[in-house]
DNA sequence: CGTCTATTTGAGTTAGCTCAACCGTCGTGG
DNA sequence: CCACGACGGTTGAGCTAACTCAAATAGACG
């Protein structure tokens, strides 16, 4: 699911499994790739496809007309992107790193999934899980300080993609500081300063700007999880 | 749908209609009332019911352990409250004003709606519409100034429940300043000051703290819709 | 080796916060 | 019937976290 929440309750089930279970023809989907920086879709486009991220990371975002941007979510493998209630995408989606996706073609009959109940139920699970994650993100955007925001962000990634290296847990940060800032509702400078602060406090290490090693995950969680 | 977005594309369809269409027994739901201030459910409770607001206004919110609160949404008639991906509510829900709700009992088989495809499809529409509205709210929480936030909030209500009184459009504001503050990620004082500013600029009138008349809706929209 | 871009760091500013006082309404009890 | 207290809302004054603008640094790439 989307990386918006400090805790993930939802166990993703590949939509592929559901499709196969019900012997839907492979014609209704195919796989595709996108290079880092390439768009998958733009706000306003007809929402003809639903995407499942297989490899890499994508970013969904919305723009204000004066250029301010809000990153809505980073999509990691297993995440479903592009569900829309009205056949139009309401955000931009771009590949952050080189990405492989599975593309589901919308059923010709339009927006209804009622004639594919298993798929519908699966999408409903994804949608409600997404709502849940977005709610955590709300709490973060609305009520947390810069340190709490950055710590929360790192904890989500830690739990989702962290790999243990002798008592440290490391992961890559494919997105730019600007992406992180626009995700957390901060400026690039504040994000950078906050990373530096966490590094100076020996809570994390930054071998390079796109790699994080968490040394004191308990302290990091304490900073993030002032949430109940 | 939830009041989170400056623009509403989704035309709510009462779940009741869907139920009747498919001749589901009335036993699977009933109506209920809640007085202002009463809880409908709490974070952590088993998510046994899904609610549809019929009359009044409800509020969903989450708390940080130190008491900071984020109001996630205000639920107006037609809105669906309480969908969960894992059978547990992840927010509190309380009645803001005296409220009438329709209560849907979860199917005994558990979380799946696959055996009620029409209902599932309808819930999926609600869920994706909710995701859409939440995305607009993200932009607001993350990237807008206090004036833009308050203006956006008023525009949503204007479009949803505004009633024309000679060239003004009026509506009631049943929630407290504190609810509004926690919805917009501001403090009570900032909300109050912003209302005062809009009043002094003759953009709105405040006959009393819980009633708003919008005099210059174009100006209000301009303040809100710096969004694209 | 120079250029370009992303990131970090520094210095000063400000929007919104905190704390405190004040106001108006409403319900209660003398 | 009026005084009083409680509560929600408004206003004021000063503070601070995060912002803006600017400069320094560091890789990446031709």
Can you give the distance from the CA of residue A226 to the C1' of nucleotide C20 in angstroms?
28
The residue behind tokens 């992840």 is B90
Distance CA A46, CA A34 (A): 19
Residues 6+ apart with CB under 8 A from A206: A195, A199, A212, A213
What's the confidence (pLDDT) of residue B107? 58
Distance CA B76, CA B175 (A): 12
Give kind and range of the element (H or E) at residue B221: helix B217-224
The CA-based diameter of chain A, rounded to the nearest angstrom, is: 57
Phi/psi for A34 (5° steps) reads -140, 135
Question: Where do the H-state alpha helices sit in chain A?
Answer: 15-21, 117-143, 146-161, 177-184, 188-200, 217-224
Ramachandran sector of residue B172 (left: φ over 0; alpha: ψ -120 to 50; beta: rest): beta
What's the confidence (pLDDT) of residue A122? 80
**Contact by Cβ (8 Å): A121, B45:** no
Kindly list the averaged pLDDT for each block of 10 residues, start to end, along chain A of length 228.
Answer: 40 55 62 95 94 96 94 95 91 96 72 72 85 93 97 97 92 98 98 98 96 96 77
Average pLDDT over residues B180-196: 98
Average pLDDT over residues B62-66: 92
- Nucleotide closest to B187 measured between CA and C1': C17
What's the confidence (pLDDT) of residue B211? 96
Question: Is residue B216 predicted with pLDDT exceeding 80?
Answer: yes
Chain B hits for A118, Cβ within 8 Å:
114
What's the confidence (pLDDT) of residue A222? 96
Question: Is residue B18 predicted with pLDDT exceeding 80?
Answer: no
- pLDDT tens-digit profile of B83-116? 888 989 999 999 999 999 999 886 554 556 767 7
Give kind and range of the element (H or E) at residue B182: helix B177-184
What confidence tier does B177 reach under pLDDT thresholds 50, 70, 90? very high
**Contact by Cβ (8 Å): B193, B199:** no
Distance CA A147, CA A223 (A): 7
What's the confidence (pLDDT) of residue B7? 31
Q: Which chain D positions come under 7 Å from a protein C-beta?
A: 8-13, 17-22, 27-28
Chain B hits for A185, Cβ within 8 Å:
141-143
Please tell me what DSSP assigns to residue B27. Answer: G
The residue behind tokens 């849940």 is A132
Instruction: Return the residue of A nearest to B84 by Cα.
Output: A128
What confidence tier does B218 reach under pLDDT thresholds 50, 70, 90? very high
Neighbours of B13 (CB within 10 A): 12
Q: Taking the mean position of all CA atoms in its chain, how far away is CA A61?
A: 11
Neighbours of B216 (CB within 10 A): 16
- Closest to B127 (Cα-Cα) out of A83, A18, A12: A83
CA distance A165 to chain B (A): 32
Point out which residues pair with B73 in neighbouring strands: B60
Can you give the distance from the CA of residue A195 to the C1' of nucleotide D24 in angstroms?
18
- A130/B70 Cβ within 8 A: no
Task: Pick from A69, A83, A121, A191 the residue to mutate for testing the B interface (most B CBs within 10 Å).
Answer: A121
Can you give the distance from the CA of residue B144 to the C1' of nucleotide D12 in angstroms?
25
- Binding-face residues of A in 92-131 toward B, CB within 8 A: 111-115, 117-118, 120-121, 123-125, 127-131
Can you give the distance from the CA of residue B12 to the C1' of nucleotide D3 in angstroms?
52
What's the confidence (pLDDT) of residue A117? 76
Point out which residues pair with A88 in neighbouring strands: A46
Does the beta carbon of A36 lie under 8 angstroms from any beta carbon of chain B? no
Distance CA B41, CA B126 (A): 20
Domains of chain A (ranges; CATH) run 15-141 (2.60.120.10), 145-224 (1.10.10.10)
**Contact by Cβ (8 Å): B176, B57:** no
What's the confidence (pLDDT) of residue A124? 82
């Amino acid at each position: 699911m989307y990386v918006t929440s400090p805790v993930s309750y939802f166990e993703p089930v590949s939509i592929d499994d559901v499709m196969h279970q019900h012997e839907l023809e492979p014609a209704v989907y195919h796989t595709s790739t996108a290079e880092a920086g390439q768009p998958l879709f733009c706000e306003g486009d007809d929402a003809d496809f639903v995407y499942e991220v297989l490899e890499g990371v994508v970013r969904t975002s919305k723009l204000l007309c004066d250029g301010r941007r809000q990153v809505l979510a980073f999509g990691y493998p297993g995440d479903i992107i592009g569900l829309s209630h009205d056949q139009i995408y309401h955000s931009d989606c771009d590949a952050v790193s080189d990405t492989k996706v599975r593309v589901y073609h919308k059923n010709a009959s339009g927006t209804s999934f009622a004639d594919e109940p298993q798929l519908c139920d699966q999408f409903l699970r994804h949608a409600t899980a997404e709502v849940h994650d977005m709610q955590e993100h709300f709490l973060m955007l609305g009520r947390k300080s810069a340190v709490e925001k950055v710590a929360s962000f790192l904890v989500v990634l830690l739990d989702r993609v962290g790999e243990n290296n002798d008592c440290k847990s490391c992961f890559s940060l494919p997105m730019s500081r600007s992406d992180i800032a626009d995700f957390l509702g901060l400026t690039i400078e504040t994000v950078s300063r906050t990373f530096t602060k966490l590094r100076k406090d020996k809570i994390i290490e930054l071998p390079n700007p796109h790699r994080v090693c968490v040394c004191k995950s308990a302290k990091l969680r304490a900073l993030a999880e002032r949430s109940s």
